[in-house]
Structure 1
Amino acid sequence: MRSRPMYDVVAALARLGVGLVFIAHGWQKIEAGITATGRTFDDLGVPLPTAAAVYAAFAELLGGAALIAGLALPVTGLLLFADMAGAFLFVHADQGLFIVDGTRVENGYELVLVLGMASLLFAAGAGGRLTLDQWIATKRLRRSDDDEDDAASFVKSLRQAEPQTETETGTKPHRKHRARRSTKKSQPAEPTEPPAAPEESEDDLLVAGPRKAARRHRARGTRQTEPATAPAAEDKPEDPA
């Protein structure tokens, strides 16, 4: 059974070796020039030689550095595997396995095969724990654990504060109601006074004044007319029998 720390160290060494090879090949293409590398790819029959030269140079240079650091290994491994798959299909597949066979340079596919399979292995998760990806993941887990602990402590403090607030709000109002009831019972009932007669306003006096004057004037008129009508009744001749 393998030891996990030993496996992590071996995986880090493997990433270091493969990454250095990729960095060397990428820097070689950039140093020669993208245009010259594109012409070489064109002579070898690679489609879109300029775009392929740009992709191969920067994927190998930056991808090799990412392999060594252990950064974004799934993506980095797939990009490097695609680079080696293109080199195998368009350049090395018909050249045999060996790069050098005896004294002849065959330019075989043994190197691109090993580099491609190693990149695919790192993409599948064989990079070990000594990586930047692992460090970022553990940091996120610690933050999430701290957030959960803070949330749990906050909820616990709220639950502890609930009984205190219930007792404070539950007892004091009863005491106030009892005090109010006792004061109401102790105070004697105040005697009710009869309602005061409504006071006459100036408008009522002004209205009532002319009415009384009109009544008095009518009474005087009737007194003056009664003596005048009475003699008229006396002067009336009697009917002959």
Structure 2
Amino acid sequence: MTLTTLPRALRDVLLLLARVGLGAVFLAHGLQKFLSYGMAATTESFAAMGVPAPGLSAWVAALVETVGGVALIFGVLTPVFALLLAAEMIGALLIVHLPFGIWVTENGYELVLALAAGALALAAAGAGRFSVDGVLATRPAAQAEPARESVTAGR
């Protein structure tokens, strides 16, 4: 059985749960950088880990994780934000965690790999019906804002 052969309602519930779960983890990590550690400490940590342009990278990571986490939770532009989040995690894997092996307890890459894989799966599968993306995709054309007539119409 594949995701496309699941009953539609079950598929949408599973996508909702995946989005909310993954989004909550990303949101927590983004807020941690902003609120728990603070951006000065996050920048220092990034510099110590050898992250290029640590000041800029710290802000980009915190913003992508926070905004991307919220976007996943609500299912807003899901493929776009999921790809941004996956790219960030792949960068963290390659720049910071790869030399330490897989185990997160040894600063390894298992968490960032799992987060990247989950984000890539959501980018491929989409948000499902129970999301802002899903609501906008099923909005009938008749309910959409009517096109405005040209000033020259009828001339």
**Pairwise same-fold verdict (TM > 0.5):** yes
Gapped regions of structure 2 (runs ≥ 5): 147-155
Which of 8, 13, 29 matches 1:9?
13
Deviation at 1:142, TM superposition (A): 3.9
In the TM superposition, 1:1-241 aligns within 5 A as 1-31=5-35, 32-100=37-105, 106-139=106-139, 141-143=141-143
Task: Give the aligned residue type for 1:14.
Answer: A
CA–CA distance in structure 2, aligned partners of residues 89 and 53 of structure 1: 16
Is the contact made by 2:127 and 2:134 (CA closer than 8 Å) also made in structure 1?
no
Deviation at 1:34, TM superposition (A): 1.3
CA–CA distance in structure 2, aligned partners of residues 115 and 15 of structure 1: 11
CA deviations over 1:73-107 (Å, ceiling 9, x no partner): 1111111011101110111111111112xxxxx01
Q: Secondary structure at the match of 2:95?
A: helix
CA–CA distance in structure 2, aligned partners of residues 64 and 73 of structure 1: 10
Greater relative CO, 1 or 2 (CA 8 Å, sep 6+) = 2
Task: Give the aligned residue type for 1:24.
Answer: A
Gapped regions of structure 1 (runs ≥ 5): 101-105, 148-241
Task: Give the aligned residue type for 2:11.
Answer: Y
TM-score (norm 1): 0.56
Is the contact made by 1:78 and 1:119 (CA closer than 8 Å) also made in structure 2?
yes
Once the two structures are overlaid, the 10-residue window that deviates more, 134-143 or 18-27, is 134-143
Deviation at 1:16, TM superposition (A): 0.8
CA deviations over 1:167-187 (Å, ceiling 9, x no partner): xxxxxxxxxxxxxxxxxxxxx
Q: Secondary structure at the match of 1:129?
A: coil
CA–CA distance in structure 1, aligned partners of residues 26 and 139 of structure 2: 29
Q: Secondary structure at the match of 1:124?
A: helix
C-alpha RMSD of the superposition: 1.7
Query: Aligned residues, how many?
Result: 141
TM-score (norm 2): 0.85
Q: Secondary structure at the match of 1:121?
A: helix
CA–CA distance in structure 2, aligned partners of residues 50 and 140 of structure 1: 45
CA deviations over 1:21-40 (Å, ceiling 9, x no partner): 10110011001121211111
Is the contact made by 1:73 and 1:125 (CA closer than 8 Å) also made in structure 2?
no
CA deviations over 1:8-51 (Å, ceiling 9, x no partner): 00110111110111011001100112121111101000000011
Task: Give the aligned residue type for 2:16.
Answer: A
- The percentage of counterpart residues that share the same residue type is 45
Deviation at 1:140, TM superposition (A): 5.0
Is the contact made by 2:127 and 2:133 (CA closer than 8 Å) also made in structure 1?
no
Is the contact made by 2:78 and 2:126 (CA closer than 8 Å) also made in structure 1?
no
Is the contact made by 2:83 and 2:123 (CA closer than 8 Å) also made in structure 1?
yes
Q: Secondary structure at the match of 1:94?
A: helix
